[in-house]
């Protein structure tokens, strides 16, 4: 198995995960990083490590030696990396089909004890060279995924870090006048106000003010 880094997450995943694709024979997911790997099917059943305990709920699945194996997968799946300590992980996802393999790679992605990263993969889009991966980020462990990133066949650490920054409010890969406009529309508002936009509260003090504008100004012009 190819190791991209000393800490690595490797998948062989079904290409019909979340999106219709040719069937596959096996899912094999191995995590070598600070975190717990959990695979969910469409009914919410889990196979993986949950709070240090092994769970094998998905039919024809097994978790052993940091590896999730699903035989004859015919469902939709999502893949979550739940942080248990500060560090980085790498992720390699391969959809194996009769027409060849489709691969997604995420390298040196930072994580923390409160972070959950959920990967949704559109294998059809990836096979066409399009952006087919959505990464949803719950950074504080409250169960709400406050940020998301779209990527093609590869996601690098720098791209992940920039997309996760609050200043790029509309997630278009650049901090510009559009992001300032979003803050301006909500300027002066607090929770409960019709103009309130939690995303514009960049410093999380429950008021949209000059401090939030200054945070965008600090990153103005930066691109992913």
Question: What digits encode the pLDDT tens for the residues 151-208?
Answer: 999 999 888 876 766 677 777 778 888 888 988 999 999 988 999 887 788 776 788 9
**To 10 degrees, what angle do helices 210-219 and 177-186 make?**
170
Each residue's pLDDT tens digit, 105-127 = 888 888 888 889 999 888 778 88
Residues 6+ apart with CB under 8 A from 100: none
At which residue do the structure tokens 């990263």 appear?
117
Q: What is the pTM of this model?
A: 0.69
Q: How far apart are CA 41 and CA 47, in angstroms?
A: 9
Domains in the chain: boundaries? 8-164, 177-219
């Amino acid at each position: 198995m190819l190791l991209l880094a000393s800490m690595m997450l490797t998948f062989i995943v079904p290409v019909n995960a979340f999106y219709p694709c040719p069937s596959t024979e096996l899912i094999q997911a191995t995590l070598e990083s600070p975190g717990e790997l959990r695979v969910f099917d469409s009914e919410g059943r889990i196979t993986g490590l949950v709070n240090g305990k092994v769970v094998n709920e998905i039919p024809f699945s097994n978790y052993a030696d940091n590896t999730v194996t699903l035989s004859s997968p015919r469902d939709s799946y999502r893949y979550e990396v739940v942080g248990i300590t500060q560090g980085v992980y790498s992720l390699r996802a391969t959809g194996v089909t009769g027409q060849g393999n489709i691969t997604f790679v995420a390298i040196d992605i930072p994580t923390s004890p409160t972070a959950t990263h959920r990967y949704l993969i559109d294998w059809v889009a990836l096979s066409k060279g399009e952006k087919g991966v959505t990464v949803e980020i719950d950074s504080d462990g409250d169960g709400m995924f406050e940020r998301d990133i779209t990527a093609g066949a590869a996601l690098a650490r720098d791209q992940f870090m920039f997309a996760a920054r609050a200043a790029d409010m509309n997630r278009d890969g650049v901090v510009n006048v559009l992001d300032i406009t979003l803050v301006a529309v909500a300027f002066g508002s607090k929770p409960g106000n019709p103009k309130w936009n939690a995303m514009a509260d960049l410093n999380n003090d429950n008021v949209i003010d000059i401090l939030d504008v200054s945070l965008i100004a600090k990153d103005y012009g930066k691109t992913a």
